[in-house]
Amino acid sequence: MYNSVSLFIGVLISVMIMINGTLSAASGNYAAVVIIHLVGLLGIITAMLPGKAFRFKLKGIPLYLYSAGTIGIFTVLFNNMGYAALGVSLPLALGLFGQLLASLVIDHLGLFQMKKIRFEKKKFMGLAIIFAGILVMAFL
pLDDT one-digit tens code per residue, 58-103? 888 888 888 999 999 999 999 999 998 999 899 989 999 999 999 9
| Distance separating alpha carbons of residues 32 and 37, to the nearest angstrom | 9
| Distance separating alpha carbons of residues 47 and 132, to the nearest angstrom | 41
The pLDDT of residue 54 is 66
pTM as predicted: 0.78
The pLDDT of residue 51 is 75
What one-character DSSP code corresponds to residue 115? Answer: P
SS3 55: coil
Instruction: Give the mean pLDDT of the chain.
Output: 91
Domain positions in the chain are 1-87, 88-140
| Distance separating alpha carbons of residues 63 and 87, to the nearest angstrom | 35
Q: Are 116 and 110 in contact (CB under 8 A)?
A: yes
The pLDDT of residue 107 is 94
